[in-house]
Amino acid sequence: MDALKQISNDSLKADAPVIEIGDTVKVHVKIKEGDKFRIQIFEGTVIAKKHGGIAETFTVRRVAHGCGIERVFPVHSPVISKVEVVRHGKVRRAKLYYLRDRVGKAAKVKEEIR
């Protein structure tokens, strides 16, 4: 069991992003097209964080062309080049799944002034 913990600790990112629920983030994802790599930015609101350690993930939601899109990103994945926090959200919940049912301004998260 200690060998498994050692392997997982070695593959953790040293500069893991510090993100909270409700934050609006830009996730820079490496996309492979043929033999080339490019960076694609996915911007949205963090609605959930799950698990911990090497298996930690966060879910980002955005609305594009009237259709809601959610992507789950592993925090320690080598596919994620960086995560930028655009703004901090003021929330009182651990999961923001209720935003799925809301439309327009009701689906916004208030900004926390720091």
Annotate the chain with DSSP letters as a single string. Answer: -HHHHHHHHHTS-TT-----TT-EEEEEEEEEETTEEEEEEEEEEEEEEE--GGG-EEEEEEEETTEEEEEEEETT-TTEEEEEEEE-B--S-S--GGGGG--GGGG--PBPP-
The domain spans of the chain are 2-107
The CATH code that applies to domain 2-107 is 2.30.30.790
**pLDDT (tens place) for every residue of the chain, 114 residues total:** 688 888 888 888 888 889 999 999 999 999 999 999 999 999 999 999 999 888 999 999 999 999 999 999 999 999 999 999 999 999 999 999 999 999 999 999 999 988
